[in-house]
Amino acid sequence: MDYHSPASFAEASALAQNATGITRFLAGGTDVLVQLRSELVTPDTLIDIKKINGVHDITRNSDGSWTLGVAATGAEMSEHPELGHDWPGVVEAMDLIGSTQVQGRATLTGNLCNGSPAADSVPAMVAAGVTVTVTGPEGARDVAVENIPTGPGKTSLAKGEVISSVNIPARGENGGDAYLRFIPRTEMDIAVVGVGVNLRLDGDIITEARVSLGAVAPTVLLVEEAARAIIGTTLDDAALDALTAAASAACNPIDDKRGTIAFRTEVAGVLAKRTAKIAYARAKGEQA
Amino acid sequence: MALDHRKSIFNFVGTRPDRPDGLDKVTGRARFGADAYAPGMLHGAILRSPHAHARIVRIDTSKAEALKDVKAIVTRADFAVLPFKPGLEGEFWNVLENVMAGEKALYDGHAIAAVAATSALAARDALKLIEVEYEVLPHVTDVDNAMAADAPVIREGAADYSVPEGMHPNVVRYHESGHGDVEAGFAEADLVIEDSFVTEATHQGYIEPHACLASLGMDGKGELWCTTQGHWYAQKYCATLLGIETAQLRVTASEIGGGFGGKTTVFIEPVALALSRKANRPVKLVMNRSEVFRSTGPTSSASMDIKIGMKKDGTITAAQGIFRLQGGAFPGAPGDLTAMCAFAPYDLTNVRQVGYDVIANRPKQAAYRAPGAPMGAFAVESVLDELCNQLGLDPVDVRLKNAAAEGSKASYGPTYERIGLVETLEAAKAHPHYSAPLKPGQGRGISCGFWFNHGGETSVSLALSEDGSAQVMVGTPDIGGSRASMALMAAEVLGIPYENIRVTVADTASLGYNDVSHGSRVTYASGLATIKAANHAVEKLCERAAAKWGIPVDAVKWEDGCAVPSGPNAGDFDPLPLADITADMGATGGPISGHFEATPEGAGVSFGTHIVDAEVDSETGKTSIVRYTVIQDAGKAIHPTYVEGQYQGGAAQGIGWALNEEYIYGEDGRLQNSIFLDYRIPVASDLPMIDTVIVEVPNPGHPFGVRGVGETGIVPPLAAIANAVSNAAGVRMKQLPMSPPRILAALKEK
Ligand SMILES: Cc1cc2nc3c(=O)[nH]c(=O)nc-3n(C[C@H](O)[C@H](O)[C@H](O)COP(=O)(O)OP(=O)(O)OC[C@H]3O[C@@H](n4cnc5c(N)ncnc54)[C@H](O)[C@@H]3O)c2cc1C
């Protein structure tokens, strides 16, 4: 196994481009090292991106948008004085990952690129409209988060491509986001269903919404029907029922040791309703 | 001896001093199974079957052997060399077959071969070079399927004499017991409920994986360090499997990171010894978590049919249970114990119970706290709860009405001596928890539970030092704070401070045979032996005082750590403290020690009653345990904090078993959840504070009244939680674990 710690993303990209066999980028390592230790994946090349300048930075840009370095950890996000105020859903989703120890290492980018359909931060990022900057042999491009995963353990990143930053839009006025997951226990478990909701209000009326589901299909889903069910409403009971139905209808889950098809489909609807209520309350400036 | 009369006023017993191993454990100085090293040590690794059932056609180890880092490879052939014990039978054969497969791999994870190499990594790499050709055979993992006519036969001739003719060969033991006439009893009932219940296998879930360091020379002399609940058992089994003399193998028990019954047998120890003998170097073997799940003993899974008749006033007229337990590919599933415990809390006129031990393609079950009892209690106490609900009766009152007491004929045969079930039920009824209001979505559950408790071979030595301190050597690994309890009991007899006593778990070369730390026996049996060994030393102390004073020894008695004249006629002498006698013991007759060994028979059965409140999210099926109270008879709590710890631990493990823990096998017969991420043991935040009430109804079979407390605490939880969840959800839950998908499905069918 070769270990590299490049000083720039261009260098990281070149190393990956020229590597043979299995290549992994090392962010927090909470997936990579666990897979290595349990002999699931033994990379031939390990490219540590934590030594690149600025990868831990969390920056609010002048237009109100946010740029997060790819090594910024869950703990750094939770401790940031303003990020959680703007995007409580994204921060709470990341904060659900693992334990205190894992929080000190785990990153949004690692969670996204590990490609798990159950990754907790991904539905929250999709709902928030987050993009990532991808640096490759041909330069850099921005890609919506929902276009990165292509199936369990798979991403759309080509050989030699590395994510160089995470870009969260400006929060703007009267917006709120939230993330809920279902696990049979209270923590240290893997999502059986995850739901991210992000919306904006005009008065009491929802004018914009994005609803995203995790762990109910081979990739995290952006469910437009679910968003449509609540746009133009005050999130009244009829809207919640329509949202519940749309979320359940979008599911295409598997039966496995973690949950049945029927269970995931049903609970996706329930959680969509509960998450939307929290996002709505946050958009109104209420505690939730 | 005076102390054979039950004591009721204590100076040390019943206090809560710090445990002697506490500092070592919180600072990391304690040495567990994997904390042993030896010069020239090799690292072992085990190749395991990926198939649930397969004939081993060929094993080719030549490529692995060619690696320079590899120093030894063993397969079953290396165990066949038994110079003076050629044919193994019964449990010895079972254990050998389990630690290293013979002709067939019998379950996913069954050991096939093992390597010793210069590093752990080299050993694991070498495993990948061992070629095994398998002929895959049909398999079965479910208990009901394993008994069906078309089930594959796992081992011809495994059944013993007890099995009635016409049963499938996978049924290997049969038990039937009871008394009275159940049919007549059912005819007298106002309501009869009959139902079926299923529980999945769970693992003991100890935090410390199995680990050992073995050294065995060509002269047949060996040393073994291992994490175990019973090092004499390990000594006997390892020596027998390797064909060496028992006394030539010295076994030392490490500190133990949990066992709960799962470390009452051997898995890697004989393999490490075989590797060591072949390599002529010490070999260390440490399991990873996945190996622990796949290859060590989980508990049995069960399928049960219960029928109980009751009168309108709550009197049980008859009770019948059929209990089918699956215990992996070897005989041993405790269907008999399930049957014997299931109705044991009740004084029944008509009762009949049947237990089956069924083999299937799963790892060999091992004991898990009160083996067999929790499942039976789940089934029986669920039906009792349903009877109470349908007849509009209070569940505690009904249990009180039928409760067994001194003189009751137990459902499994004997007549009870003094027991404390009624006291636990009365305490439950009086407890504020029982009358606390419930919120919407919440339900309350009650259950009783019973466990036999055990005595077992016990040997203890105690030696006094010149400065008046004492060392106690016991042979029972400390799995629950027992060193503190032994020191308290020795302090009580000797009359010296707790802090002046050091208790050591001695190795097999330092004491006679000691039974395993199981059966809730340690505080009872090693405690009894510690008291008697201390008495033995006290007799000698009194002799020395008598000689010094020139009076007969029966004119001396022992009081508060001093020899004193037994009465005014004995003479007028100042009390002689223990340390004054030991200070010159070398000159007055030599070292003073005490010893006791026996197989005590008066363990005293134990009962408990649990109260649980559960809240069910009706939209997701998720259960939260919101309040939990354990009430149990301890006879006499020597160290109340550790008694409470046992009560809480039993409840915590029961919560896991009831709600989310289960062995999940795929169609291919492979275990699907062999890591803690998917084997869902409760995390700390899943549990409420578990309240405890210690009831003390002294056991006549122990000088201080002790009853074992380690196991009874896991008997009621499955049932109590199932009753709480069923009452909260408004639908009877008949299958464990009550995971959210199962509860949601049951709610839909309601
Ligand atoms: C105990 C424990 C609990 C956990 N609990 C949860 C949980 O509750 N929810 C959850 O979703 N996950 C959980 N995880 C999984 C893991 O912690 C998360 O997926 C985490 O976000 C991964 O981030 P990382 O920085 O550690 O990734 P790494 O392990 O460093 O990398 C993961 C993947 O991302 C790729 N990668 C990393 N950086 C880049 C980059 N810049 N460009 C391209 N690819 C990149 C790597 O090649 C690798 O494939 C848990 C893990 C553990 C050990």
Tell me how far the alpha carbon of residue A33 lies from the centroid of ligand 1, in angstroms: 9
Tens digit of pLDDT for each residue in A203-227? 999 999 999 999 999 999 999 999 9
What's the pLDDT band for B3 if we cut at 50, 70, 90? Answer: very low
CB contact under 8 A, A185 and B682: yes
Distant-in-sequence, close-in-space partners of B27: CB < 8 Å, separation ≥ 6: none
Report residue B211: phi and psi, to 5°.
-155, 145
Does pLDDT of B7 surpass 90?
no
Q: Count Cβ atoms below 10 Å from residue A190 Cβ, excluding itself.
A: 18
Point out the residue among B677, B686, B741 whose CB comes nearest to the CB of A263. B741
Tell the burial category of A257 from Cβ atoms under 10 Å away from its Cβ (0-12, 13-18, 19+). Answer: middle
Beta bridge partners of B195: B306
Tell me how far the alpha carbon of residue A106 lies from the centroid of ligand 1, in angstroms: 6
CATH 3.30.465.10 range(s) for chain A read 2-50+57-168
Residues of A with Cβ-Cβ distance to B292 under 8 angstroms: none
CB contact under 8 A, B619 and A270: yes
A-contacting residues of B 652-671, CB under 8 Å?
A: 659-660, 664
**Which structure tokens are listed for A256?**
């496995």
- For residue B740, give the chain A residue with the closest CA: A184
Instruction: Report residues whose beta carbon is within 6 angstroms of any ligand 1 atom.
Output: A 24-32, 34, 49, 70, 96-99, 102, 105-107, 109-111, 113-114, 119-120, 157, 162-163
Measure CA B551 to chain center.
Answer: 50
Q: Does A263 touch chain B (CB under 8 A)?
A: yes
Q: How far does A82 lie from chain B, in Å, by closest CA?
A: 28
A88-97 in b/e form (b: 16+ CB < 10 A) is: bbbbbbbbbb
Kind of pairing between the strands at A221-222 and B690-695: unpaired
Q: How far does A3 lie from chain B, in Å, by closest CA?
A: 18
Q: Does A189 touch chain B (CB under 8 A)?
A: yes
Distant-in-sequence, close-in-space partners of A81: CB < 8 Å, separation ≥ 6: none
Tens digit of pLDDT for each residue in A256-287? 888 899 999 999 999 999 999 999 999 999 86
Tell me how far the alpha carbon of residue A107 lies from the centroid of ligand 1, in angstroms: 6
Measure CA B576 to chain center.
Answer: 44
Complete edge-to-edge strand list for the sheet that includes strand B316-326? B171-179, B351-358, B316-326, B301-310, B191-199
- For residue B688, give the chain A residue with the closest CA: A186
CB contact under 8 A, B660 and A184: yes
Average pLDDT over chain A, rounded to an integer? 97
Tell me how far the alpha carbon of residue B206 lies from the centroid of ligand 1, in angstroms: 27
What pLDDT score was predicted for residue B89?
Answer: 84
Among protein residues, the one with the nearest Cα to ligand 1's atom 6 is A97
Point out the residue among B620, B622, B678 whose CB comes nearest to the CB of A257. B678
What pLDDT score was predicted for residue B1?
Answer: 35
What's the pLDDT band for B82 if we cut at 50, 70, 90? Answer: low
CATH topology of domain B22-30+455-598: Aldehyde Oxidoreductase; domain 4 (3.30.365)
Kind of pairing between the strands at A149-151 and A154-155: antiparallel
Does pLDDT of B86 surpass 70?
no
**3-class DSSP assignment, residue B217:** coil
Please tell me the distance from the alpha carbon of residue B360 to that of residue B301, in angstroms, as a whole number: 10
Please tell me the distance from the alpha carbon of residue B562 to that of residue B580, in angstroms, as a whole number: 9
Q: Does A115 touch chain B (CB under 8 A)?
A: no
CATH 3.30.365.10 range(s) for chain B read 22-30+455-598, 418-449+605-749
CATH 3.30.390.50 range(s) for chain A read 191-283
A-contacting residues of B 592-631, CB under 8 Å?
A: 619-622
Higher local confidence (pLDDT), B79 or A173: A173
Does pLDDT of B694 surpass 90?
yes
**Disruptive mutation site among B47, B616, B619 for chain A (greatest number of A CBs within 10 Å):** B619
Are the C-beta atoms of residues B133 and B55 closer than 8 Å to each other?
no
Measure CA B419 to chain center.
Answer: 21
Average pLDDT over chain B, rounded to an integer? 96
CB contact under 8 A, A270 and B678: no
B-contacting residues of A 2-61, CB under 8 Å?
A: 38-39
- Dmax over CA atoms of chain A, in Å, equals 58
User: pLDDT over 70 for what percent of chain A?
Assistant: 99
Tens digit of pLDDT for each residue in B509-563? 999 999 999 999 999 999 999 999 999 999 999 999 999 999 999 999 999 999 9
Q: Does B673 touch chain A (CB under 8 A)?
A: yes
Does pLDDT of B5 surpass 80?
no
Overall pTM surpassing 0.90 (yes/no): yes
User: pLDDT over 70 for what percent of chain B?
Assistant: 98
Beta bridge partners of B174: B356
Q: What is the CATH number of domain B418-449+605-749?
A: 3.30.365.10
The domain over range A2-50+57-168 is classified in CATH as 1.10.8.620: no
Does pLDDT of B566 surpass 90?
yes
**3-class DSSP assignment, residue B129:** coil
Please tell me the distance from the alpha carbon of residue B339 to that of residue B328, in angstroms, as a whole number: 19
Please tell me the distance from the alpha carbon of residue B211 to that of residue B234, in angstroms, as a whole number: 13
Tell me how far the alpha carbon of residue B261 lies from the centroid of ligand 1, in angstroms: 36
What's the pLDDT band for B85 if we cut at 50, 70, 90? Answer: low
Does pLDDT of B84 surpass 50?
no
Mean pLDDT, rounded, for B462-474? 98
What pLDDT score was predicted for residue B707?
Answer: 97
What pLDDT score was predicted for residue B81?
Answer: 55
Beta bridge partners of B683: none
Mean pLDDT, rounded, for A154-174? 97
Tens digit of pLDDT for each residue in B131-159? 999 999 999 999 999 999 999 999 989 99
CB contact under 8 A, B677 and A184: no
| HEC assignment per residue over chain A | CEEECCCCHHHHHHHHHHCCCCEEEECCCCCHHHHHHCCCCCCCEEEECCCCCCCCCEEECCCCCEEECCCCEHHHHHHCCCHHHHCHHHHHHHHCCCCHHHHCCCEHHHHHHCCCCCCCHHHHHHHHCCEEEEEECCEEEEEEHHHCEEECCEECCCCCCEEEEEEECCCCCCEEEEEEEECCCCCCCCCCEEEEEEEEEECCEEEEEEEEEECCCCCCEECHHHHHHHCCCCCCHHHHHHHHHHHHHHCCCCCECCECHHHHHHHHHHHHHHHHHHHHHHHCCCCC
**Disruptive mutation site among A183, A255, A257 for chain B (greatest number of B CBs within 10 Å):** A257
What pLDDT score was predicted for residue B88?
Answer: 79
What pLDDT score was predicted for residue B612?
Answer: 98
Mean pLDDT, rounded, for A19-48? 95
Among protein residues, the one with the nearest Cα to ligand 1's atom 48 is A114
Q: Count Cβ atoms below 10 Å from residue B474 Cβ, excluding itself.
A: 28
Residues of B with Cβ-Cβ distance to A261 under 8 angstroms: none
Shortest CA distance to A265 belongs to which of A227, A209, A226, A217?
A: A217
Q: Does A182 touch chain B (CB under 8 A)?
A: yes
Does pLDDT of B656 surpass 50?
yes
Tens digit of pLDDT for each residue in B222-263? 999 999 999 999 999 999 999 999 999 999 999 999 999 999
What's the pLDDT band for B4 if we cut at 50, 70, 90? Answer: very low
Shortest CA distance to B611 belongs to which of B692, B500, B509?
A: B692
User: pLDDT over 90 for what percent of chain B?
Assistant: 96
Are the C-beta atoms of residues B156 and B170 closer than 8 Å to each other?
no
- Dmax over CA atoms of chain B, in Å, equals 86
Q: Count Cβ atoms below 10 Å from residue B325 Cβ, excluding itself.
A: 31
Mean pLDDT, rounded, for A236-250? 98
Q: Does A96 touch chain B (CB under 8 A)?
A: no
Q: Does B75 touch chain A (CB under 8 A)?
A: no
What pLDDT score was predicted for residue B80?
Answer: 62
Q: Which CATH architecture has domain A191-283?
A: 2-Layer Sandwich (3.30)
- For residue A39, give the chain B residue with the closest CA: B124
Tens digit of pLDDT for each residue in A182-194? 999 999 999 999 9
Does pLDDT of B198 surpass 80?
yes
Mean pLDDT, rounded, for B267-292? 97
